[in-house]
Amino acid sequence: MSKSKTKLAGKREEKIDASMWGKQSTRQERPGATRCEWFRRSKFAMFIHWGLYSQAGGRWKGKTYYGIAEWIMHLARVPAKEYETLAPRFNPVDFNAIEWVRLAKAAGMKYIVITAKHHEGFAMFRSKVSRFNIVDATPFKRDPLKELAKACRKEGLKLGFYYSQYQDWHEPDAAGNSWDFKQKGDFNKYLHEKAIPQIKELLTNYGPVALIWFDTPGNISREAAQELLDMVRKLQPGCLVNGRLGHGLGDYISLGDQEVPLTAPKRLWETIDTHNDTWAYAWCDHRWKSARELVSRLVRVVGLGGNYALNVGPTGRGVIPAESASILRQVGQWVSRNSESIYGSEPSPLGRQAWGCSTLKSGKLYLHVLNWPSDGELWVPGLKANVKGAYLLTTRRNLKFSRKGGILRIQIPKLAPDSIATVIVLDVAGAIKARGRGKYVYNGLVNEMDAPFAKLVNCRHGKRSWMEKFGDWHHVDVVENWSNGSSARWDVTALKPGMFSLCADYECQPDAEGSELEMSLGETRWSFPVLCTGGGACGRVRIRHETLGTIAIPKAGKYTLSIRGLDVKGESAFLLQKLTLEPV
Ligand code: FHN
């Protein structure tokens, strides 16, 4: 790209906070439903962050910068010219497109999205638009996206490209690099001389592109976002565009990073998650989510109707870290055993239960049991359906069941047949409906009463998102704005009598320390002081899981569990995430 000497950059620096994902429209269905059909069915994808930053691996000049490693240039405030010196060292000779694609396939993933150009501005493909690309600027000289496109075609996976449309820290005219380019840049120039021509290259040189994944729309104008969308539609009408294009445009919503929601958005959506904390490779990040955790996240997303895109960060040599690859293979074995319950499934009307969640497909309800009851029975209350049979998905072993008091009781083995998650299939004739979503208290399981499902008086539902030092995003739904007399209440049905520990997960900043709240369940009530948990700094929320006491549920039936403000100090300094009833 020829650099403009006229107007130079000086965009506001892009902050790392949740606002950078842009406002995405939650309006329901829109034209393009057919275009989205493959996406709707696919459910599970591989996301790949790979660029020059992978060569740095989270370190600059010998110093480790903790955080998301693809932001190393930003974290270490590296001038663009100096950052270019990474390119001659970037020689990913161990890159093997077919191996990556086969790994994705072995994990059960149906499509891949790879960073074609991240905020660093480096094109991971042959580009005539800018020499800052992998073919022209590195000793590698190959175009990995070409190789991946070919491998994906061979293995039957779809391929999409991530393109950072707004931030480009290499270009003075783009947004994001305030440490290097001090003056005002001409964003239109960057848009028309780099972003649009490069996206055109991606859409014309690599065969059918499944989707263009835009990111951090920042202050991009409506016209610019529309222009990008029109170009994608014109060049490849079948190509999807994610909601981070900005201005409510695009085919579907990408939730916040690493966000596994409790309730489903109304539009088509995805969760983008990452295997450890960072997206790109960082030498110091080994916090791999286990196969069990990944499967649990996958089925919780799919159970609400979303897609789960899981990121891996290959090294500067082009290798997906061995620990990550090995865990993905374990996930894939689980997915392959249980594939019928995942691909092409619909969200289930049952909602999340203490034992897990469920999906739905052509007369079958798939119960994903993440927390296996130890008493030999799985209870499914609130299900309004004519259940003809029940069996374990992987072995097809039939399970006995009965119905009593509106509760389906399935006899299950004492030990979970699958240590990751066991799927039980219910064969159903006719319509499947459910009532009392998420309102049941199970004996022997941890029952979570989450903020979004509470009925509130004089306080309100809210949400907090923040990133920890190591780059991991966290999201919590909360009840906020407490004052004296505020209350949150859950109307629940206890399935059996029992003893429980009653716990509250809350944040209390110093201003609210010593506030007094009152809990009640049936006839039992007691007040308790809230204790300071810290939090507040850099928008980080510090939740404490506090045991408040032991409580007896004398008999099965309906109860109201509530929490009320008696003497609340610093009304914005207390946040309630959830109450839990845990077996004693
Ligand atoms: O800034 C990027 C980040 O580096 C990463 O690419 C994630 C993936 O969703 N998107 C942005 C932050 O949300």
Residue-wise pLDDT for 476-497, tens only, equals 999 999 999 999 999 999 999 9
- Using only C-alpha atoms, what is the Rg of the chain? 25
User: Nearest Cα to 389, choosing from 428, 350, 432?
Assistant: 428
Q: From CA 359, how far away is CA 350, in angstroms rounded?
A: 9
Nearest to 572 by CA among 465, 451, 452, 464: 464
Ligand 1 contact via 369 beta carbon (within 6 Å):
no
Q: How far is the CA of 110 from the centre of ligand 1 (A)?
A: 21
* 461-466: Cβ within 8 A, 24+ apart: 462/575, 464/539, 464/541, 464/575, 465/17, 465/18, 465/256, 465/259, 466/17, 466/18, 466/538, 466/539, 466/540, 466/541
> Which ligand 1 atom is the nearest neighbour of the CA of 256?
13
Ligand 1 centroid to Cα of residue 124, in Å, is: 17
Q: Is 202 in the pocket of ligand 1 (CB under 6 A)?
A: no
The answer to whether 288 and 63 are in contact (CB under 8 A) is: no
Q: How many whole angstroms separate alpha carbon 313 and alpha carbon 70?
A: 10
472: its two tokens: 């991991």
Work out the end-to-end distance of the chain between its first and last CA atoms, rounded to an integer number of angstroms: 65
Residue 334 sits at φ, ψ, to 5 deg, of: -65, -45
Pairing of the two strands 269-274 and 253-254: parallel
Q: Is the CB of 472 under 6 A from ligand 1?
A: no
Nearest CA to ligand 1 atom 7: 257
- Span 434-484, pLDDT tens digits: 886 658 999 999 999 999 999 999 999 999 999 998 899 999 999 999 999
**Average pLDDT per consecutive 10 residues, the chain (584 residues; last block may be shorter):** 37 70 68 88 98 98 97 97 98 98 98 98 98 98 98 98 98 95 87 98 98 97 98 97 97 97 95 98 97 98 98 98 98 98 95 95 96 96 95 98 94 97 97 80 96 97 94 96 96 95 95 94 92 84 94 94 95 92 95
Residue from 567, 421, 427, 416 nearest 484 by CA: 567
- Domains annotated for the chain, with CATH where assigned, are 39-337 (3.20.20.80), 346-438 (2.60.40.1180), 447-583 (2.60.120.260)
Task: Confirm or reject: Cβ of 279 under 6 Å from ligand 1.
Answer: yes
pTM of the predicted structure, to 2 decimals: 0.95
Integer Cα distance of 21 and 13 in angstroms: 15
What are the C-alpha distances in Å from 504 to residues 17, 214, 501? 27, 38, 10
Q: How far is the CA of 215 from the centre of ligand 1 (A)?
A: 7
Q: Cα separation of 193 and 11, whole Å?
A: 18
How many CB atoms neighbour CB 374 within 10 A? 13
Sheet of 407-411, strand order: 377-381, 407-411, 401-404
Instruction: Classify residue 398 by its DSSP letter.
Output: B
Q: List the one residue out of 38, 214, 33, 32 whose CA is nearest residue 111.
A: 38
Q: How far apart are CA 250 and CA 489, in angstroms?
A: 37
- To the nearest whole number, what is the mean pLDDT of the chain? 94
CB of 270 closer than 6 A to ligand 1? no
Residues with Cβ within 8 Å of residue 34, at least 6 apart in sequence = none
Question: Residue 536: how many CB atoms within 10 A of its CB?
Answer: 15
Nearest CA to ligand 1 atom 10: 215
Strands (DSSP E) contained in 242-363 are 253-254, 269-274, 307-312, 346-347, 356-361
Which of 68, 244, 255 most suits a substitution to test ligand 1, by most atoms within 8 Å of the C-beta? 68
